[in-house]
Amino acid sequence: MKHIHASSPRFSTKAFTLLEMMVVLLIIALILGAVAVMVQGIEGNAQDVTTQSKIKGIESALTSYKLGAMMYPTQAQGLDALVTRPTAEPKPKRWKQLAKPEGLLDPWGHKLVYRNPGKHNPAGYDVFSLGADGVENTEDDIGNW
């Protein structure tokens, strides 16, 4: 029986070179970077969709408020009139809570803005989010217009 020694060429160990490992790490980093960009885009889109949905909900609550109070809340009463009964005139004859305080916040933690009469809807009202930057009249504002 022939003995094969570990030092024979058939059993030599192959190792990765530093360059090969760097290339593999670079490829992994590129893939992770691409995934991070995609996830960030999805998250931003989800926040926009959530905000639009909240605004639709507020519009429904404002319609219900108008049915009971015979008018929309005034600019001074604001969206808080959907959470607590207004104490300032004009007080609604019939009132019920139509929103929770957290329902008046956008995904970035900013309170939704209510304007009556509206700037974009002069015959009605505006409800909008200031977006991620929290500044009015920028590209990321999301409203009912």
Is residue 122 over pLDDT 70?
yes
Per-residue pLDDT of 53-91, as tens digits, reads: 999 999 999 999 998 889 999 999 999 999 999 998 999
Residues 95 and 122: their CA atoms lie apart, in Å, by 25
13 located within any domain: no
CATH code for position 73: 3.30.700.10
With tokens 């700037």, the residue in question is: 119
Determine the structural domain holding residue 81 and report its residue range.
44-143
1 located within any domain: no
- Split into its structural domains, the chain has a count of 1
28 located within any domain: no
Are 82 and 97 in contact by the 8 Å Cβ rule? The answer is: yes
16 located within any domain: no
pTM (predicted TM-score): 0.69
Assign 17 a pLDDT band (cuts: 50, 70, 90). confident
15 located within any domain: no
85 located within any domain: yes
39 located within any domain: no
Assign 43 a pLDDT band (cuts: 50, 70, 90). low
**Judging by beta carbons within 10 Å of its beta carbon (0-12, 13-18, 19+), is residue 54 exposed, middle or buried?**
buried
Mean pLDDT (whole number) for 7-14: 56
Q: Number of C-alpha atoms within 13 angstroms, CB side, residue 28?
A: 6
Give the full edge-to-edge strand order of the sheet including 126-129.
113-115, 126-129, 142-143
30 located within any domain: no
- 105 vs 30 pLDDT, higher one: 105
Bridge pairing between strands 142-143 and 126-129: antiparallel
